[in-house]
Chains A and B, each alone.
Chain A
């Protein structure tokens, strides 16, 4: 198992490396001068601009610039935000926990609901429950997060006034009251994200369980007289989880995309909201840094999924 994990970690490094090349190429191929804002400023004479270019290494050949760029990324130096003049790393540090909390809790809730629903709807295929579950899952997959988010605001904040409209980012949890407030304001963003994940996860689980049900080992389990609960949960379920984990790994970029939209709608101060505001404000260092951080997150979670996969299916680890 240890060599398997080591091998996975080692293959993640070249992936990150290539992704960094992709991002750098996009940036290098993009038209426009990073110092164009200075060019418009009459107080900055052209000589100063030239010196600045040289100091920033903008005239170096591309491979030198790439190495410098990757080296500073690896050290965690993403530069300073144009608009707030705070190091990008600081901004990310403030906001990353919020994003991870929202995504993590949403995914946990989605899994808690989706896995049992998926299993039950496969075991009772074509029953009323199955029909209802598959229809809802399909709707969940098709409804874009920005629409469900707005619908939630419309129903629960505007009409029913149960939850606050906008996420209060300055709220600190000190006592029971503020904790309750925090829970109240987190319910909508988390449930929008959870609903979106639930649809997909239910479909994956159902398909995978259906594939496993006619297998020989299941027939054996039935034949030796095991009760249904044991057959389904001890034999079918663990085996069905294996492909589900792969599919989850593949949908990780989608999960973060969903989080970007949800954060933007509810104004949760996560890195997704930062990405959108920085993009609209032409804050290049933040946009670049965040794109790279998203890549790191996706690769990291893929790695985690791979390792879980290795635990679920020991055959993989011994290959």
Chain B
């Protein structure tokens, strides 16, 4: 290993082989290359981007009001005027699906941010400081993992729904409540992986070096260790979007999520249950959209795991 003392560019195999100077290979470049090779993950991310774009831009072009009732045409299947058909009150399903998708996806992403924020905070404090703090925080994590999630979610929403609605209005109130409870009950996996990578990264020499230079704990955590733990955080973030979307849809499906006038995908399924035999398309479209979104996000997470964790040979 004597030649490693004098680093020479010519010893690098890729530059030695090609006389034309290449852009240097970066960590993210490598990850992107590996990600592209995972075909399902790539198509998953395209599908997810597409769904996000359509739900954002779609309502500007498809201008039918999602709450417009037309009983004369109720239960009609897909036609040219209504590509997704209409529901039991004659409301256009495509418009409802797009507006509902905005809500469902934004709940998923916001709840993910809450969960990842909490998980990263708890995991990094626990992994960095160790000792009694670590012990207590990990006990807390274990406790949260053994809570019955759905009953607790229902209980929280049941108890706090009306109060929040009075304070900040029906839409914002239920939105805040849902992302807070979903995020607040889903940070445990992130905390565990962040703690694990903190434990290994904090042993490294560069951390010691920055400590010798007089860096504060906060600076060491934020500027030195955290950037090295970003891969597991990204993976956990992607996977938790899917989990959050399923949870929100479950709550709305059970009739305890958004109020009836906000058509989230789960809420549409809840409405459609009553006339399942009359209008099967009212179940198929929203249900399939939830499934497709979760599937694409999870494939994306799977691909990211393969791409960002080079040690893992699948």
Contacts and interface: CB of A to CB of B under 8 A. Distances in A.
A and B: bona fide binding partners: yes
Interface of A: 15, 18-19, 22-23, 26-27, 30-32, 138-139, 141-144, 146-147, 150-151, 153-154, 158, 250, 253-254, 256-257, 260-261, 264-265, 275-276, 279-280, 282, 287-288, 290-291, 294-295, 297-299, 302
Interface in B272-310: 272-273, 276-277, 280, 283-284, 287-288, 290-291, 294-295, 298-299, 302
B299 A138 contact: yes
Contact of A261 (B143, B148, B253, B298): B253
B287 A287 contact: no
Contacts of B287: 144, 146-147, 150-151
A257 B149 contact: yes
Contact of A276 (B147, B154, B288): B154
Contacts of B295: 138-139, 142
B143 A291 contact: no
Contacts of A22: 143, 147
Contacts of B108: none
A139 B242 CA distance: 13
B150 interface: yes
Q: Identify which of A147, A279, A298 gathers the most chain B CB atoms within 10 Å of its CB.
A: A147
Nearest to B162: A32
B56 interface: no
B292 to A, nearest CB: 9
B249 interface: yes
B143 A18 contact: yes
B146 interface: yes
Interface of B: 143, 145-152, 154-156, 158-160, 162-163, 242, 246, 249-250, 253-256, 266, 269, 272-273, 276-277, 280, 283-284, 287-288, 290-291, 294-295, 298-299, 302
A23 B155 contact: yes
B148 A32 contact: no
Contact of B146 (A139, A257, A302): A302
Contacts of B155: 23, 26, 279, 287-288, 291
Identify whether the interface residues of B are mostly helix, strand, loop, or mixed: helix
Nearest to B253: A146
Contacts of B256: 276, 279-280
Nearest to A159: B280
A138 B272 CA distance: 26
B149 A147 contact: no
20 contacts: A30-B163, A32-B163, A138-B298, A138-B302, A142-B242, A146-B266, A146-B287, A147-B269, A147-B283, A150-B269, A150-B283, A151-B287, A158-B277, A253-B145, A253-B146, A256-B148, A257-B150, A291-B154, A298-B148, A302-B146
Given A18-B143, A147-B291, A291-B155, A253 B242 contact: no
A139 B40 CA distance: 13
Contacts of B255: 276, 280
A22 B160 CA distance: 15
Contact of B151 (A150, A275, A282, A302): A275
A144 B160 contact: no
A290 B158 CA distance: 14
A158 B277 CA distance: 6
B150 A260 contact: yes
A26 B185 CA distance: 14
B159 A264 contact: no
B293 to A, nearest CB: 9
A142 B294 contact: yes
Query: Which 3 interchain pairs have the tightest Cβ spacing?
Result: A30-B159, A294-B148, A257-B150
Contacts of A154: 276, 280, 283-284
B279 to A, nearest CB: 11
Given A150-B269, A150-B276, A256-B150, A30 B160 contact: yes
Contacts of B302: 138
Nearest to B247: A257
Contacts of A146: 249-250, 253, 266, 269, 287
A115 B151 CA distance: 29
A144 B290 contact: yes
B97 to A, nearest CB: 14
B196 to A, nearest CB: 15
Contacts of B253: 146, 261
